[in-house]
Amino acid sequence: MEIIVNDYTKTIKGATVLDHVNLKLHSGVCYGFKGKNGSGKTMLMRAISGLINPSSGYVKIGDKQLGKDLSFPESIGILLENPAFLDNYTGYANLKLLADIQGKIKEKEIKEALSAVGLDPEDKRKYKKYSLGMKQKLGIAAAVMEKPEIVILDEPINAIDEEGVVLVKKIIFEAKNRGAIVIVACHDKEELMELADEIVEISAGKIVEKKEAV
């Protein structure tokens, strides 16, 4: 599978937040989005996820164009800023609710996803009692539990402890190795180099460099 971003421009209230972006993304590769605050990393992730519409240009998922042939990519897991979960449900119950929308996975896969991020599947605490890092881990579990073809993780290791970072890296490698297209943004340069195969540098809504991570 391939994602093609073709001459994608997004203007919001006169401000150009994505500026003629061209990008081709392939299966089995982890792409690291790099750039300053406000450069457009999250916006480009939203564009690829079908969460915003272009002012001009397009995104193709395989041979289907977003906004034309389909509204959202068919198989995608996303962690963007502030994942929304239900306060009065446990982590497991939150994931179960999400999993039941597609009905693709059962209890076993949900529990595996929780364990993979270092959360206890049997934890009876409600989401509102979760720490910041625990919330972030639940967001990552939600993004990957259905083993989607596209995995987008915006700042996945934010607020995550050392042990958790090791687990997140493992999750990203597994997703990549089963053939997913993985996109991550991370402000820690060294961590980004370790996570990503290719670095995509964004500045003021433009892609200024695309190179192998070394």
Binding site for ligand ATP (CB under 6 A): 12, 17, 35, 37-43
**Between 126 and 187, CB nearer to Mg ion:** 187
CA-to-CA distance for 208 and 192, rounded, in angstroms?
17
42 binds Mg ion (CB under 5 A): yes
CB of 13 to ligand ATP, least distance (A): 6
In terms of DSSP bridges, do strands 76-79 and 64-65 run parallel, antiparallel, or are they unpaired?
unpaired
Binding to Mg ion in span 175-204, by CB under 5 A: none
DSSP 168: H
164 binds, among ligand ATP, Mg ion, none (CB under 5 to 8 A by kind): none
Nearest of 74, 56, 79, 41 to residue 156 by alpha carbon: 79
Nearest to Mg ion of 146, 155 (CB atom)? 155
Q: Where are the alpha helices (DSSP H) in the chain?
A: 41-48, 91-102, 107-116, 132-144, 162-177, 189-195
Residue 37, contacted partner among ligand ATP, Mg ion, none, CB below 5-8 A by kind: ligand ATP
Of 59, 125, 63, 41, the closest CA to residue 90 belongs to 125
Any bridge partners for residue 200, and if so which? 33, 210
Of 36-44, 82-90, 94-102, 193-201, the segment contacting Mg ion by CB under 5 A is 36-44
Out of Mg ion, ligand ATP, none, what residue 43 binds, judged by CB under 5 to 8 A for its kind, is ligand ATP
